[in-house]
């Protein structure tokens, strides 16, 4: 069952541009009966492994230097990695019921965003993490403020990256989510980069931030979840690979809307089951 759950997590991660990792925690709780505190830790580890695999695929693609925005990616990932342990610590201080309420509010926001994004910009829904970015054009660098086209670390740009990275890390450690739902729109807002660049860069950031959150989970938790984590992580990679094979055929606005509705349904069902 855990291998199947991991495969579902990896598949959803691969077939969404942002927000897919939020499926991990409710699936682990609903299908495997794992308490939320453990589900958050396992989710962080499985998402980290899956997105590292996706990042390696992007890095070794034909036009890897154009796909990944390295400098903003490193800033977001570095700050997020520092705040993820704080998010994990905060999660341990909050009663599980209220943590679950907070998670469902976050899931609702992400589901609405996925639906509206698919409705307003259906072409962007075709750009997913398992897609092939090799032939994607590069319209410019993030915060491109110089005449020579070089990235400049000016206050407004850096402050946006620092605040965004801190928030991504906190939410990642707190709820076990990757943060792509925040990273992708942040990159798109700060500069006219392509959706493919934002999604590809988000893979690297999520991998680093989730790894930090998972390591902090290992230090702060006394539970031995390695066998469960190994199965879920292996399934995650399998799911990502499956997503690569079929993403060009089924990735579209309708699929994103289906994911949005499914996320809402799974989250509500998890909450109701926990209350009862």
Does the model's pTM come out above 0.85?
A: no
Q: What is the pLDDT of residue 186?
A: 83
Buried b (16+ CB within 10 A) or exposed e, 113-135: bbbebbeeeeebbbbbbbbebee
Q: What is the pLDDT of residue 243?
A: 77
Tokens 């998010």 identify what position?
Answer: 87
Q: What count of other Cβ atoms lies within 10 Å of the Cβ of residue 268? A: 14
Winning range, highest mean pLDDT, from 64-68, 104-108, 140-144, 194-198: 104-108
Residue 6 contacts by C-beta under 8 Å, 6 or more apart in sequence? 46, 231, 232, 233, 234, 235, 236, 238, 239
As to burial, measured by CB atoms within 10 angstroms (0-12 exposed, 13-18 middle, 19+ buried), residue 65 is exposed
Buried b (16+ CB within 10 A) or exposed e, 161-185: beebbbbbbbbbbbbbbbbbbbbbe
Instruction: Find out whether 243 and 129 touch, Cβ atoms under 8 Å.
Output: yes
Q: What is the pLDDT of residue 72?
A: 84
Residue 250 contacts by C-beta under 8 Å, 6 or more apart in sequence? 15
Q: How far apart are CA 81 and CA 172, in angstroms?
A: 9
| 175, two tokens | 């709820």
Q: What is the pLDDT of residue 81?
A: 94
pLDDT(242) > 70: yes
Instruction: Find out whether 87 and 172 touch, Cβ atoms under 8 Å.
Output: yes
- pLDDT tens, 25-72? 888 888 888 888 888 889 888 888 888 887 777 666 655 545 677 888
Q: What is the pLDDT of residue 169?
A: 93
Q: What is the pLDDT of residue 12?
A: 81
The better pLDDT of the pair 178, 78 is held by 78
| 5, two tokens | 């759950």
pLDDT(229) > 60: yes
Positive/negative CA dihedral, 214, 215, 221, 222: positive
User: What is the CB-side half-sphere exposure of residue 172 using CA atoms within 13 A?
Assistant: 39
Q: At 144, is the secondary structure helix, strand, or coil?
A: strand
pLDDT(88) > 80: yes
The better pLDDT of the pair 59, 266 is held by 266
- For the chain, the helix, strand and coil percentages under 3-state DSSP, each to the nearest 5: 75, 0, 20
As to burial, measured by CB atoms within 10 angstroms (0-12 exposed, 13-18 middle, 19+ buried), residue 212 is buried
Winning range, highest mean pLDDT, from 84-93, 118-127, 260-269: 84-93
């Amino acid at each position: 069952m855990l291998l199947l759950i991991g495969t579902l997590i990896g598949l959803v991660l691969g077939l969404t541009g942002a927000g897919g990792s939020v499926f991990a925690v409710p699936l682990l709780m609903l299908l495997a009966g794992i308490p939320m505190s453990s589900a958050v830790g396992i989710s962080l580890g499985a998402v980290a492994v899956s997105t590292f695999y996706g990042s390696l695929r992007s890095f070794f693609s034909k036009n890897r230097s154009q796909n990944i925005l390295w400098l903003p990616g490193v800033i977001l990932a570095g700050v997020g990695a520092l705040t993820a342990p704080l998010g994990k610590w905060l999660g341990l201080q909050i009663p599980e019921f209220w943590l679950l309420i907070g998670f469902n509010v976050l899931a609702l926001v992400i589901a609405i965003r996925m639906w509206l994004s698919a409705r307003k910009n259906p072409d962007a829904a075709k750009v997913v993490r398992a897609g092939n970015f090799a032939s994607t054009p590069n319209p410019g660098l993030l915060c491109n403020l110089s005449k020579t086209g070089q990235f400049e670390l000016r206050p407004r740009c850096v402050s946006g990256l620092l605040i965004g990275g801190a928030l991504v890390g906190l939410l990642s450690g707190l709820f076990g989510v990757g943060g792509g739902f925040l990273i992708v729109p942040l990159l798109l807002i700060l500069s006219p980069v392509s959706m493919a660049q934002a999604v590809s860069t988000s893979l690297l950031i999520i991998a680093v931030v989730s790894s930090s959150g998972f390591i902090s989970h290992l230090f702060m938790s006394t539970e031995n979840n390695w066998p469960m984590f190994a199965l879920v992580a292996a399934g995650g990679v399998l799911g990502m690979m499956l997503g690569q094979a079929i993403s060009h055929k089924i990735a579209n606005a309708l699929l994103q809307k289906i994911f949005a509705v499914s996320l809402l349904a799974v989250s509500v069902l998890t909450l109701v089951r926990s209350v009862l």
